[in-house]
Amino acid sequence: MRITDTSDLWWKTAVVYCLDVETFMDWNDDGVGDFEGLAHRMDYLNELGITCLWLMPFYPSPGRDDGYDVSEYYGIDERLGNFGDFVEMIRMARDRGIRVIIDLVVNHTSDEHPWFVQSRSSRDNPYRDYYVWRDTPPRGKQDVVFPDVEDSVWELDETTGQYYLHHFYSFQPDLNVTNPKVRDEVAKIMGFWLELGVSGFRVDAVPFLIDPTGVEHAEGALEDPLDFLKSLRAFLGRRSGDAIMLGEANLPHREQVRYFGGRDADGLTMQFDFIAMQNLYLSLARGDARPLTKALRGRPRIAVEAQWANFVRNHDELTLDKLSDEERQEVFAAFGPEPQQQVYGRGIVRRLPGMLGGDPRRIRMVYSLMFSLPGTPVLFYGEEIGMGEDTRVHDRTSVRTPMQWTNGPNGGFSNADPGALAAAIPDDGFSPAHVNASEQRHDPDSLLHFMKLLIHRYRASAELGWGELEILRQGSASVLVHTVSGGEGRMLALHNLAGDPVTTSFVLPDSGPDDVLVDLLVDGRTLTPGEGGKLSIPLDGYGYRWFRVLPTGSKRLG
Ligand code: NOJ
């Protein structure tokens, strides 16, 4: 059967909002956010207009990598609540049309996970093959993910005299997914959470998850590591009609196509576009739209069921690893010049507003651009109000401060003693006194109102999720003019990445003599293209415009 409705594949037009329960809202005032707090903020999220929540890990964990070191997959960190609270939260989300996806962290476990405790206890333990063991680390350099902290992906375990693989920290031993038992365990974990009502998973560290390093000629090993992803997707399809896998795979575009499962679309449902994100920052640093244009033009065609996830900032460092060394230095110089603002030689530990000097025009332009690109937008909590980072923290966690709800003590996140909070509250120009949700809700000129507008316009423009991108020729290097066209219609967007005003002239292709362009962000006024679709539109410094293109006789609302 053909896809008859644009919401048939809900993720194609979703607005995803990532949060960590631990830092979102503390309802029992112990200093740690909890599921009850999140449930009480469901109306806020609904009002914002998001349609899918992505929850960062909330499983029991020693917390040495902020929960990405799981010690029990069938549990909930007791500081955050219990299963009753979890299910209640899911119900409240669903009641408001919000789906919930959760982080699936199965490249590795914590070294405190009972499987690893068993595995390392002796060479003949039944769980030995749940992990990857070698007598000697294989020759040849293997890149470590956290070069400031680790110098090898192999760690000697004294008890049994062998090395185990850990792509990330040494307390995160990699699971051996060439072992069929481990693959079954992963499927069982997914099946469990699906039964509790989740709509899918943000799959952590996908390239590492399917990397068979260190496992040679293993019995049951998959011919093609991607088959593992595909088997999980097939399992997901059998257990749930609409659950998705949103993969974290920071790879060149052409490799991402394979991860999607190519034309068959039987791999990851969605993937973050790290390439476009990194080139966006290069474009911002230069005030020149061309790096981003090139990245977008280089996006390969993907199957209709697959989708790109667009983002500006996530919970990790702003990685710039896919830029050249010179390009990375340019972005560092523009947005994170201090050594303590940089990590791992590749990333910046700041949120967007700090990097842009708090310039509201520029911040809005960036989000306008992100929402106007074909794909599904993903927000990190606090972006909607322009939260900054904790400048006293010089690692990735600087951007994981508590959500700023009010200008009161602890930013309204908790009534606990400030020393007991899950993370400290920024005390600079981005502190709750300056940036908080409560005040912005009542201020029609606030960033929060602007983000709501973007979200609502995005949701009313299904072509942004489904359509084809075309970047139009025009004369200003600082400007990106693009259309996104699909079955639902066509959008035209203009963005000026530089601070000087500019008038951009271009031809709107396939434009009829009576087409009307309706402004979607400012005042709803209309424009009519000249002969042959000619347009000339002025943009302020860091200006942005969205137009709905309505052909003659269109019944679509402007
Ligand atoms: C990617 C996550 O986003 C990051 O926070 C984490 O440290 C690694 N994967 C390891 O799980």
- The domain that holds 515 is classified in CATH as 2.60.40.1180
Task: Report pLDDT for 217.
Answer: 55
Co-location of 342 and 271 in the same domain: yes
Q: Find the range with the poorest average confidence among 20-24, 30-34, 221-225, 453-457.
A: 221-225
In angstroms, the Cα distances linking 78 to 60, 70, 110, 475 are 7, 13, 17, 58
Please check whether residue 487 lies inside any domain of the structure. yes
Co-location of 296 and 160 in the same domain: no
* Active-site choice (26, 129, 204, 384): 204
Co-location of 345 and 443 in the same domain: yes
Q: Mean per-residue pLDDT for 138-165?
A: 88
d(CA 43, CA 437): 13
Domain count, the chain: 3
Co-location of 134 and 151 in the same domain: yes
Per 3-state DSSP, the chain is made up of helix, strand and coil in percentages (nearest 5) of 30, 20, 50
- What is the 386 CA–ligand 1 centroid distance (Å)? 23
- What is the 56 CA–ligand 1 centroid distance (Å)? 10
- Confidence (pTM): 0.97
Please check whether residue 220 lies inside any domain of the structure. yes
Residue after which a domain boundary falls, among 459, 482, 510: 459
Task: Report pLDDT for 53.
Answer: 98
Please give the residue range of the domain that contains residue 521. Answer: 468-550
Q: Is 204 in the pocket of ligand 1 (CB under 6 A)?
A: yes
Task: Provide the residue type at 451 as one letter.
Answer: M
Please check whether residue 1 lies inside any domain of the structure. no
| pLDDT over 80 at 221, yes or no | no
Co-location of 310 and 227 in the same domain: yes
> Above pLDDT 90, what percent of the chain?
91
Co-location of 144 and 201 in the same domain: no
Q: Is 106 in the pocket of ligand 1 (CB under 6 A)?
A: no
Residue after which a domain boundary falls, among 428, 459, 490: 459
> Above pLDDT 70, what percent of the chain?
97
* Active-site choice (129, 248, 288, 390): 248
Handedness of CA 449, 453, 540, 358 (dihedral sign): positive
Q: Mean per-residue pLDDT for 310-326?
A: 98
Residue after which a domain boundary falls, among 459, 488, 509: 459
3-state secondary structure of 466: helix
Co-location of 124 and 225 in the same domain: no
- The domain that holds 245 is classified in CATH as 3.20.20.80
